Structures are given as structure tokens and as C-alpha cells.
A and B are shown apart, each in its own frame.
Chain A
Amino acid sequence: MRGVSGSSRSTFGRIREALRTNEVLVFAESIVTVIVVWMVIAHGLNLVDSISSPELILAKVVELITSGLFFTHLVDTMRRTLFGFAIGVIIATPLGIAIGLSDFLKTAFKDYVTVGLALPDLLVVVFVAMLFGIGDLTPAGAAVVLAIPYMMQTLIEGVDDIDTDLLEMGASFDASRRRLLRRVVVPSLLPEWFGGVRYSLAISWKAVTLAEVVAAETGVGFMIRKQMDTLSLTGAFAWTVLFIVILLVIEYGVLRQLERLAFSWREEVSDVVVAP
């Protein structure tokens, strides 16, 4: 502990310090504060019906888990997400790289990417729904359409970021094109590609859950929408909380760890962001 104000730091002082600076503790403080304030307002002002209350949500969460209902629907949502996202990545990766490498293609398709990024999710969902109707294909299809522009944008920028100095260095040592591709271009693109993959996954979740509202009969999105029918705000919160937890577990528990392992040569740490 820092001993700026002398060596005799009381235990109380140290605890106070930790509460202010320790990441985990502050995180907990933050959540606890919200929960407490919420409960106070809900019960104190008798607004439980309007804004629900943490203990109710918790009860509902437990119910959803123990009854298995959450996992039943989660599986469907995950399946559609993974399917759509995988196809999106498979399509967008070669496309994005090819476009990034060619000035002409880059200019020709610049507007596509701009429009693609701006597409309201709802539009895409409705149109894919028109094509595929109710079922798995609509959510997966929506994920594909919405994820591709992001993946492509990431790769186009990734190609731009390739260090031409390194290519020049390779050229001055007579490296073949193949060598340059394998040892310079691909390793350079890999971290950015991975970031794009993470991003696309996040987009896909959102697309799938939205599509489930419009064109599915199972899935987390569908269930959240169903809470509207019973005017159950508690239910909506419960489903949302559970879903967020799963998302975060995958993002931080799996993906970030993979990333750290694969790219241990990097100095910088990537940012704390999940896709908008």
C-alpha cells in the first residue's frame, strides 16, 4: 500500500483506500448502490409495479434457471447466433480483404459499407422475415446481413493498417510474395480480424434477439417480447439480466482469454467494449 502519509496506516484507512481504488470492490459498490437505491425508490415510493424491484427480479431469475426455461430458449438463440455469425464471418473475411487490397473496389463499395453500417436492424429483420418466414433462418439470416458490414469495415481498415515499412523490408531481402503474405500480411491482420469477429458476434446476438421478436416462436428475444403480453416488467428484467450474464461470460471468460493467448506479443491491451 502506498505510504504517502506516513508508515503507520491504520487498517481502517487501508480499507477505505481499497474501497476507492480496487477495481473489483468499486465494481461491487457500483452494483450494490444501484440495487439499494432501486429498492428504496420502489418500495419507498410504492412504485414496485412501475419499476419493479431487485429482489423480485432475483426471484424470477432463480425461477427461470431452476425451471430450465432460460436454458431451453437460450440454446435456440445461441444456435441461430452462431450459425448466422459464422456465415457472416466466412463471407465477409475474403470479401473484406479483397476490397481492402484494391483501391478500385474500396471506392466502389465504400457506400455499401456506409449504408450497411447505418441499416436499422428492424428493417433488415423485417425483410429477411419476408423472405424466410418464421423459423431459424430469419434470425440467422438477419445476423448474417447485419454482421457483414462491420466485419468488412474492420478488415478494410486492417488492410490499411498493414505496415508498408515491413513489406519494404521484406522486399529488400528478396522475400517472395507468398512469404510476405504469410509472414507479414496475415499476422498483421489476425488481431484485427479477431476483434472484428468479437464485434460481429455481439452484433449477431442483437440481430437474432430482435428477429425472434418478429419471426420466431422460441428464443430469448421471443420470451422478452412475451413479457410485454403479460405486462411483466420483472420478467423482462430477469430475462435481460440472465442474457447479459451469459454474454459477458462468453466475452470476457472465453473470447478475451483466447485473444490474450493468441496475441501475447502485443504490448497494448484492448479496450473494454462490447458492440453498440
Chain B
Amino acid sequence: MSAETIRSGLGDRLSDVDVNQWPARIVGIVLFFVGWYAVASVFPNELMPYPIETLRVVYDLVGSGKVLPEVTATLTRIFWGFLASMLLGIQMGVFMGLDDYQRKFLTPHIVIGLSAPLIAWSVIATLIFGFSIYAPILATILTAAPFIAITVWKGVEDIDTDLLEMSNSFGITRRRTIFKVVLPSVAPELFTAFRFGLSLSWKIVTITEIFASNSGIGYQIIRAYGFVRFDEAWAWAVIFMGIVLILEYGVIKPVQWRVLRYRPDTEISLVG
């Protein structure tokens, strides 16, 4: 058994920039629609509409102007919640990385934040702030900030103090050191925090919208479900997934590629 067979038998590292990717990916995507179609033909229509019908409902919704305000509402909440979480989370993470006492002090809160069910934070935030934009923001902070904190903490911990010493011994200014040594060092962790913090944000905001508002995509989906208008629910879901995918592929992936270019095999994997 040659090494070459071993390697090909067990696959190579996933490379992002690979021309041969597309045939396989297209197969995957086509398979998805085929699968949807197949399942739709099995299930009754009200439960599971065909792809084409869903798209038609989407088209109608967009045309009637109902989509934009809802999407804006949700995105606004996500934006502010995520921003607050990043600020708070990065702050906590840095503290934890730099000072041992802070780390031990903040750890229980992080653990609690991470283990509580999402709806717990949604309900609590809503009961505190009522029907307002502050509810989803608080819920987002309670959910995303702990994760961001722990990720950033890891990054700060891993900063190579040798490099800092080196920088110091050459008399490099603090500002330059931060930009050229510290930031690139924590970039992958910052990116992970950004990426999963964002995805947590859209998850928790949609949930909180059930309780704390009468607008937003989460609200619309639950409403459609409540009225047993499943085709509408599907349509809203498609719209939302469309936005999520735009964020994933339009924002997150390009940033990911840029941030990790020089590292051969950093895995953006889940922490822990």
C-alpha cells in the first residue's frame, strides 16, 4: 500500500481555492432541489410546497412590499445586538486573556451564558424590556457575548510573547506592534468570534421576535405557522435563508479567506 494510495484514500486537506470544486458542488446543489422536489411530491401540498410554488409566494411577497420592512426590522436588531455583543465580548475576552483573576472571575458567567437555552434568554429579555428593540438586543448579548469572549480569550492567550519581545527589542512603537503583531496573531480567533457571533445573533433575534415584537422575519414565520399558512411560512423562510446565505458567502467567506491566507491549515472549527 503506497503512501500515494493512502493519501488519496483518506482525502486531502480541504483547499478553498480549487478549480475542480465546482462539478462536485453543483452536484450537491442540484441534489438539494431534486430532494426538495421528491419530498414535496410525497408530502401533502400544504405541508411542503414545491420549490417553484414557494418561489412564487416569495415573489408575491416581495412585490407587495411587505418584505422590506420586515427584513429591515430583523436586520436592525441583529446589527445592534451583534455590535453590542462584539464590543462586550471582545472586552471580556481581552481581560480574561491578560489577567488571571479576571479569567477566573468571568468564567462562571460565560459558562452560564453558554449553557442556558436560547429561549430562556429570549423570555427573560422580553420580560425585562417588554415590547421593544432592547429585548432582542439584550437576548443577543446574553447569548453571543459569552461565546465571543471565550473565543477572543483563547486568541489573546495564544499571542506569542516571543514576538512581542522581539518587537520591543527593535524599538517598535506600540501602535505598530498592535497592528503588525497583535492583531494578525488574534485574527483567526477574532474571525471565529465574528462568524459564530453573527450566526448566533440571527438565531436568537428571530426567536425573540416571537415574543417581543410584531415585526421581523421570526415574527412573520411564527404568525404564518399559527394561521396554518404554511406556504407563507416557507416563503419567509426562503427569504431569510437567502439573507443568511448572502451573509455567509458574501461577507463571511471572503473575510475568512483574507484573514487566513497565510496560515496553511488553520481550521475554523467550533471551539471545544
Contact = CB atoms under 8 A, between A and B. Distances in A.
In the complex, are there CB atoms of A and B closer than 8 Å? Answer: yes
Contacts of B114: 273-276
Given A122-B207, A157-B267, A271-B271, A164 B104 contact: no
A10 interface: no
B123 A236 contact: yes
A127 interface: yes
A273 B150 contact: yes
Contact of A30 (B105, B154, B218): B105
A272 B28 contact: no
B126 A103 contact: no
A177 B1 contact: yes
B79 interface: no
Contacts of A105: 24
B230 A130 contact: yes
Interface in A195-244: 195, 198-199, 202, 205-206, 209-210, 213-214, 220-221, 224-225, 227-228, 231-233, 236-237, 239-240, 243-244
Contact of B123 (A30, A225, A272): A225
Contacts of A263: none
Given A122-B207, A160-B11, A270-B272, A224 B21 contact: no
A126 interface: yes
Nearest to A100: B11
A159 interface: yes
B200 interface: yes
B210 A122 contact: yes
Interface string A23-38: 1001101110010000
A123 B1 CA distance: 48
Interface residues of B, number: 79
Interface in A26-73: 26-27, 29-31, 34, 50-51
A274 B147 CA distance: 9
Interface string B214-246: 000010011001000010011001001100110
Contact of A224 (B43, B119, B144): B119
Interface stretch (B2-10, B61-69, B178-186): B2-10
A4 to B, nearest CB: 16
Interface string B84-110: 000000000000000011001111111
Given A34-B109, A251-B115, A26 B101 contact: yes
B270 interface: yes
B207 A224 contact: no
A237 B124 contact: yes
Contact of A51 (B106, B128, B150): B128
A247 interface: yes
B70 interface: no
B7 to A, nearest CB: 6
Contacts of B108: 27, 30-31
Give the most central of B128, B196, B272: most A CB within 10 Å.
B272
5 contacts: A30-B108, A131-B47, A159-B10, A171-B3, A225-B123
Interface of B: 1-3, 6-7, 9-14, 18, 20-21, 24-25, 27-29, 31-32, 43, 47-48, 100-101, 104-112, 114-120, 123-124, 126-128, 143-144, 147, 150, 154, 196, 199-200, 202-203, 206-207, 210-211, 218, 221-222, 225, 230, 233-234, 237, 240-241, 244-245, 248, 267, 269-272
Interface of A: 20-21, 23, 26-27, 29-31, 34, 50-51, 100-112, 114-115, 117-123, 126-127, 129-131, 150, 153-154, 157, 159-160, 162, 164, 167-168, 171, 177, 195, 198-199, 202, 205-206, 209-210, 213-214, 220-221, 224-225, 227-228, 231-233, 236-237, 239-240, 243-244, 247-248, 251, 270-276
Given A101-B10, A243-B117, A276-B144, 13 more contacts: A30-B109, A100-B11, A107-B21, A107-B24, A111-B28, A111-B29, A120-B240, A130-B48, A160-B14, A233-B128, A240-B117, A248-B115, A275-B114
The 5 closest A-B pairs by CB, nearest first: A273-B272, A107-B24, A108-B28, A26-B104, A209-B117
